[in-house]
Amino acid sequence: MIARIAQIISWVFLPLFMPLYALMVTLYTPSSEKILSNASLFELPNEMKSQLLFLFIVFGTVAPGISFILMYRRRLITTIEMDNRSERSIPLFIVLSYCLILFLLFFFKAPNLVLPRYIYALPLTGTIISILFIVINFRTKISLHAAGTGILTGYLCAFAAQQLQFNYLLILIAIMVSGLVLSARLVLNKHTPFQVYLGWVLGFVVAFVCNMYYPFGLI
């Protein structure tokens, strides 16, 4: 019974869903920027919100998901969750490619921070995390699920730190979700404690830094 619950938690909070959850929360939760000249996610027109969600769903969830299913059907990976560490490099490179495409799409089609900078920083976070995980994967099977919840929590913390108004209960919920997901991965014996903690910390730090400091003084 416990293992079944842990499996359900793992599917509900798949790594591919977490950036989308983060974006949805910040698009539709009332908030106001401390620096009034910064564009606000909440105040974007509904049509633009729908367009942004569509792009994140396509490039961040659907396209990688379909790629993984095709790899599974062609027996390039033995499970959709990629339990075997040796099978993770190509899927991670696929995620890296889609994140980079999405970032470059925003960077060149909406330059000079026309959109709220969180829109640029979120796919950049995915790009950097993918690169880090490709390298780390040669040594250990770091938890992608843990990284996903770390990204969610880090993104919300960075976002909240730059708002005059924000529902901080959402950060508490993100932390609780992180605990549930990390516990689920341990219950299922998918990872060691070190692998889940490392995944969460890296996800949190990269998401926080990217969303707090992008464009890093370059623009």
Q: Per-residue b/e over 67-95, b at no fewer than 16 CB within 10 Å?
A: bbeebbeeeebeeebbeeeebbeebbebb
Angle separating helix axes 18-28 and 46-57, nearest 10 degrees: 170
Question: 100-109, 112-121, 147-156: which range is least confident on average?
Answer: 112-121
What would the pLDDT profile of 157-191 be if each residue is shown by its tens digit?
999 999 988 999 999 999 999 999 999 999 999 99
Average pLDDT over residues 88-116: 90
Which value, in Å, is the radius of gyration of the alpha carbons in the chain? 17
pTM: 0.93
Q: Domain residue spans in the chain?
A: 8-213
Q: Residue 123: is the preceding peptide bond cis (ω within 30°)? A: no
pLDDT at 217 over 70: no
Check pLDDT > 70 for residue 37: no
In the predicted model, is pLDDT for residue 64 greater than 70? yes
Could you give the CA distance from residue 29 to residue 32 in angstroms, rounded to a whole number? 10
Please, which residues have CB within 8 angstroms of residue 130's CB and are 6 or more apart in sequence? 92, 93, 95, 96, 99
In whole numbers, what is the pLDDT of the chain averaged over residues?
92
Residue 112 parent element (H or E): none
Give pLDDT, residue 57: 95
